[in-house]
Structure 1
Amino acid sequence: MALNYNSHPAEVAAKDGPSDIRIDELKKAIPPRCFKSSYIRSSFSLFQDMALAILIMRAAFLFVPQIQSVPVRWLAWAFYGWIEGLIFTGLWVLAHECGHGALFPSKYMNNFFGFVLHSALMVPYFSWQSTHRRHHLYANNMNFDHNYVPPRESEYFKTLWSKVQRVEDLAEDVPAQLLGMPTYLLTNITASPTSLHRPKSKRWLGNGHLDPTGSLFRPEEAYLVLCSDLGLVAMAAALYFTGRQIGSGTTMLLYLQPYFWVNHWFVAITYLHHTHPDLPKYEPEAWNFVKGATATVDREFGPIGRYLFHGIIEFHVVHHLFPHIPFYHREEATQAIIPVLGDAYHCDKDRRFLPGLWESFTKCQYVEADEATSPKDQALWYKSGPSPPPEYSMTRKGWLLKIW
């Protein structure tokens, strides 16, 4: 299937091939109320998170500097950064809901609050919304997906030695890196190189989320990308003038600490949603929307995941199938589709965050195609590495590959 750069992504998704499980079957299994968002319920969650974030920040600003003991004061600042980072991440998730049109019944309210929240967290809202929509439409498609597209076997071993030589490339592979989100926004890292709307740009940042005329966007989206950039400029200006008033050090402690935690959680959560030894990837010939959407996994993160992160970790499969379902209905919707999905439903709720992260990071290095008789039935599965095949073991640096 070729990507038509002039078409809207939804038009491509509407041309899905046949699947053993039909999207209309799944939709019929879900109670109709699950597809309806509530102004009252959504507003309560939004303003609860906003009030909590402001209250915690205000308390830290007033009381932490008063602590006389330097070690205790720095420990208090670090604890504040972690707690506020959790609240900020919850706000990020609500902005993500807005991006899908799921938080409010009104499109304008979704875009207004999504723009404000994501700009406050230094995320270009409309730019991200465009590529994230394509991620949902092409989830786990090796050619068109925008998130965590793994290397094929040949690509992995071909670049293995060069990655040893280039420390910055090794950093790209660490899912918990603090700058993963900005790196993705600036360079579109982890996306398939063939997922662009236009030919790859040679300009600096021309393949990222900030260039209105870059390769990621259709010409008619340029004004939305520009609006997103202006939102970032406004937030940067607000931080600058805040620093002039209360000091740049205090501003960094109040804002940058939780900002880095948001980046950590966003990258780790997204990585764990789409990276698991039991999750397949597909070439375009074998892919369709349902197969791609169900090749994600639900995990468990306890009270933090369910309440502060609004269930984005625990009920992600149904979100990929029906992104318009608001977060507070996803548990009910998930229970409704599990009998229909059967073995196609992936869940790993016995393993906690760190063990799950370790398993995915050590066992999911590259993908290898199975031996299906037909290209339309073929899937690619994660393999652990490095364990190079014989033709690589006698290379000039083969000894290092063996040791590593």
Structure 2
Amino acid sequence: METLGQKNDLTSEPRALMRALGDYRTPRIARSVIELLVTLIPFAFFWALSWVVLSAGHWLGLVLTIPAAGFLVRLFMIQHDCSHGAFFPSKHANDWVGRVIGVLTLTPFDFWRHTHRHHHAHSGNLDRPRIGGIDTLTVEEFSALPRDERLRYRFYRHPLVLFALGPAYLFLLDNRLPVGFMRAGWMPWLSTMATNAAILVLIATMMWLVGIGPFLLVQLPITLLAGTVGVWLFYIQHQFEDTFWEHDPNWTFQEAALHGSSHYDLPGVLRWFTANIGVHHVHHLCSRIPFYRLPDVLRDYPELRGIGRLTLWQSFASVRLVLWDEDKHRLVSFREANV
């Protein structure tokens, strides 16, 4: 283990830091099982409690869907760790736990893992297809678009679209077909269709048990709220003013990970429900670290706390940042870009 002075030096050497972070990669099986159980069991409990209260005619049942949505977000983050092979030592265990959770999160595990790995490999690279994240144009790209395409981009980047309509479309519709990968072989189709079949079986079973109306009244608010939170999290982890974007000659994986991903410093309760996904710069440097070991990294490398740090309140200002200005090397609003 390095001395504190050596650790301080590593933050200015992302490649060396990434190697040092390998010490945190080993998952603890018992801890992973416990984390899964303390997420899945409360999710089922609050789902059932919401149904019981709503069936009794009390609006309080809708309030109870809020913690259920929180636990669904946490299940998605466990699925996310599984996609990186970080949650269990066994690839088989990671794959099948991820696939089962994918039925609950409406996210085909193998296909999502494929697109998410592309995101990790090319995040912040202006010369690569921007797959697996929020579409972001440069000022020059936006200015070169015809008027109708500029209007479409403005519509897409409107907060109501991005965080309300967008999550509903993504999880209810877009995830049902491997859009954009129709000719990419059998994997996207098998992953998507197998997940769809399992979702249909689960929905049919639940509707038979609790009724069509009660099921929709409970499940839809949970899905939509969790989807909005999930999209917001993946948005804010790369969409902040001083993030890192570069063309190929000046782009490196390590710089993009450390300076192109935020440290979303959330209050403790929100950190727990989001499974430390806010420690995103560390996650991008070493995606095989289980989420419950990310706080250990910040403890041992306290200088990482200030890199890309955003508080909950500060993060809301990022919503207006919609274009990358290559001259200023930062995200800007439409007004700042004068377009």
TM-score greater than 0.5 by the shorter chain: yes
Aligned partners of 2:324, 2:234: CA distance in 1, in Å? Answer: 18
- Percent of counterpart pairs with the same letter? 19
- Which runs of at least 4 in structure 1 moved beyond 4 Å after TM superposition? 158-161, 163-166, 184-188
Residue in structure 1 matched with residue 4 of structure 2 by the alignment? none
Residue in structure 2 matched with residue 66 of structure 1 by the alignment? 56
Residue identity in the other structure for 1:177:
A
Tell me: CA distance 1:156–1:223, structure 2 relative to 1, closer, same or farther (3 Å). Answer: closer
Aligned partners of 2:151, 2:94: CA distance in 1, in Å? Answer: 45
Residue in structure 1 matched with residue 298 of structure 2 by the alignment? 334
Residue identity in the other structure for 2:148:
S
| Partner SS, residue 277 of structure 1 | coil
Give the alignment of 1:157-306 within 5 angstroms: 157-159=143-145, 161-162=147-148, 170-174=155-159, 175-180=162-167, 182-183=169-170, 207-208=179-180, 213-214=182-183, 217=184, 219=185, 222-223=186-187, 225-294=189-258, 295-306=260-271
Residue identity in the other structure for 1:334:
L
Could you tell me how far 1:225 is from its partner in structure 2?
Answer: 3.8
Residue identity in the other structure for 1:47:
L
Could you tell me how far 1:176 is from its partner in structure 2?
Answer: 1.7
Give the alignment of 1:102-117 within 5 angstroms: 102-117=86-101
TM-score by length of 2: 0.85
Residue in structure 2 matched with residue 131 of structure 1 by the alignment? 115
Tell me: CA distance 1:307–1:342, structure 2 relative to 1, closer, same or farther (3 Å). Answer: closer
Where does structure 2 lack aligned partners over 5 or more consecutive residues?
A: 1-10
Structure with greater helix share of residues: 2
Could you tell me how far 1:169 is from its partner in structure 2?
Answer: 5.9
Where does structure 1 lack aligned partners over 5 or more consecutive residues?
A: 1-18, 68-72, 189-203, 372-379, 393-404
Aligned partners of 2:71, 2:171: CA distance in 1, in Å? Answer: 22
Aligned partners of 1:90, 1:177: CA distance in 2, in Å? Answer: 19
Residue identity in the other structure for 2:324:
V
Tell me: CA distance 1:181–1:159, structure 2 relative to 1, closer, same or farther (3 Å). Answer: farther
Q: How big is each residue's C-alpha offset from its partner over 1:279-326, in whole Å with a ceiling of 9 and x where there is no partner?
A: 12111221111011111111122133221221112x111001001001
Aligned partners of 2:73, 2:12: CA distance in 1, in Å? Answer: 36
Tell me: CA distance 1:185–1:319, structure 2 relative to 1, closer, same or farther (3 Å). Answer: farther
Could you tell me how far 1:230 is from its partner in structure 2?
Answer: 1.1
**Contact 2:46–2:65 (8 Å) recurs in 1:** no
TM-score by length of 1: 0.72
Q: How big is each residue's C-alpha offset from its partner over 1:74-99, in whole Å with a ceiling of 9 and x where there is no partner?
A: 2x132122221111001111111111
Residue in structure 2 matched with residue 360 of structure 1 by the alignment? 318
**Contact 2:70–2:273 (8 Å) recurs in 1:** yes
Aligned partners of 1:320, 1:311: CA distance in 2, in Å? Answer: 13
| Partner SS, residue 274 of structure 1 | coil
Tell me: CA distance 1:116–1:187, structure 2 relative to 1, closer, same or farther (3 Å). Answer: closer
**Contact 2:157–2:322 (8 Å) recurs in 1:** no
Q: How big is each residue's C-alpha offset from its partner over 1:247-274, in whole Å with a ceiling of 9 and x where there is no partner?
A: 2111112211111111101110111100
| Partner SS, residue 176 of structure 1 | helix
Aligned partners of 1:255, 1:127: CA distance in 2, in Å? Answer: 24
Could you tell me how far 1:338 is from its partner in structure 2?
Answer: 5.1
**Contact 1:163–1:170 (8 Å) recurs in 2:** no
